[in-house]
Each structure stands twice: as structure tokens, then as C-alpha cells.
A and B are shown apart, each in its own frame.
Chain A
Amino acid sequence: MIIDIIIGVLATFGALFVLLAAVGMIRMPDTYLRISVTTKAATLGVGLLLMASMVYFSDSDVTSQAFVIILFIFLTAPVSAHLIGRASYFIGVKLWDKSVMDDLRGKYQKNTHELKSVVDDTPEDNVDHTKMNGNK
């Protein structure tokens, strides 16, 4: 049955991407890299799993509902990733100690929550993101 093969392939790739997202969640060394995992790999994996159920129920109401779920996840994953990344930058979550550079250093102001385009190094306005030296 060709439909079963299509569903099996879609579910296999979806579960594989979700498993890769979970392994990345364990193995990634930094909060910001974990945000990157949760907004790309897991979104693709769940999209493929929902497409498998879309193929199985060849019925217009269930198919449109699964399509709405896929569209909603694809729209809201970047928004929530940006919000949680911004909040974790403000509360001073440390970068990985092998990070090469921090493009936002000195640009987000701590008290006014304003994004400047030039580096402003007054120390009471900035959040400290110094490297965490392997501990914690």
C-alpha cells in the first residue's frame, strides 16, 4: 500500500528530527544554542509528524486542521524564540566559554531596555555576559 509507505517515511523522518532536537537539547553547551535547537529541528519534526496524520486522514476537515496546526507552529516558533532569547540576554545568562564574539555587547541597555546601534560601555547600563569558565 503506497499510502502506508508515505506515512511511514514521514513519521520516521519526523521522529528522527524530534530525537535530534532532544539530543541537541542535552548536548548544546549554551542557552542560546538550545534556543536555536528548539526553534528549528523540533519545528520541522513536528511538522513532518503532522503531515503524516494529514496523509492518513484523507478528509478535508482533519487535513485543514492539521494544516492550521503546522502553520501556527511555523509562525509562533520564531516569535517565542526571539522573546525568550531577549529575556535571557537581559537577565544575564552567560555565553559559552568558547564563544568567539558577542554582537550585542554594550548595545542592549539594562535599565531602559533600549537597543542602541553604537557600543555604549557605561558599566551600570550593561549586563555582564562574561564567559562562565566551564563551571555551572
Chain B
Amino acid sequence: MTLEDYLYYIILPVLVISAALIFWRFIKGPSIADKIISLDLMITTGIGIIAIYSIIYDHSTLMDVALILALIAFLSTVALSYYLEKRRRK
């Protein structure tokens, strides 16, 4: 079993299963803070999936996408929590 087979048949399904579990919490989450947290964690899992993909297909340019996704995850969490805090509760 080569390294590419191991990453493709074992590591990637584990990561996809974890993304699916986090997405279930995103659907189900009782408060809106849970949805924001699970969105952040889904993007972080996506960074890991992109890192494994760049190893499997030997494309190092995919790491640019991971950098942009890390930036977007931080920015979206900060913006959503800012507006969540400013919101007036009825």
C-alpha cells in the first residue's frame, strides 16, 4: 500500500466523516452561536482536506486556497460575533 493509497482510502474518508458530523451540528445547533462555531470548524476541516489533496495530487498551489480559507474563517467568525453582540434582543 503506497502513501497515496493510504491517504486516499483512509485519511480522506475520516476527514469527510468528521465534516459530515460537524455539518449535522450545523443543522441541529440550538443557538446561533453553535452554528457559527460549527461553520468555523467546517472551514478548518476543509483546510486539512486541502492539505491532504495537495499531497495526493502533488499540486503545491492548492496551499494558496488553504491560506485564503484560513483568512475567511477568521474574518467570518469575527464579523458574525460582532453583529451578534450588537443585536438588540426583543
> Residue of A at shortest CB range from B53?
A53
Least CB distance from B61 to A in Å reads 9
By DSSP majority rule, is chain B's interface helix, strand, loop, or mixed? Answer: helix
Asked if A19 is an interface residue, CB under 8 A from chain B, the answer is: yes
Among listed A34-42, A99-107, A117-125, interface-contacting one: A34-42
| A25 in complex: contacting residue of B7, B10, B21, CB < 8 Å | B21
Count A-side interface residues using an 8 Å CB cutoff: 53
- B67–A18 contact, CB under 8 A? no
- B84–A38 contact, CB under 8 A? no
- Whether A7 contacts B3 in the complex (CB less than 8 A), given A91-B84, A92-B89, comes out as yes
Asked if A131 is an interface residue, CB under 8 A from chain B, the answer is: no
> Residue of A at shortest CB range from B3?
A4
- A86–B22 contact, CB under 8 A? no
Q: Once the chains are docked, how many angstroms separate the CA of A4 from the CA of B81?
A: 41
What are 6 sample pairs from A and B whose C-beta atoms fall under 8 A apart? A11-B55, A15-B11, A25-B21, A69-B67, A80-B73, A83-B81
Q: B residues near A, CB below 8 A?
A: 2-3, 6-7, 10-11, 14-15, 17-19, 21-22, 24-25, 30-34, 36-38, 40-41, 44-45, 47-48, 51-52, 54-55, 60, 63-64, 66-67, 70-71, 73-74, 77-78, 80-82, 84-85, 87, 89
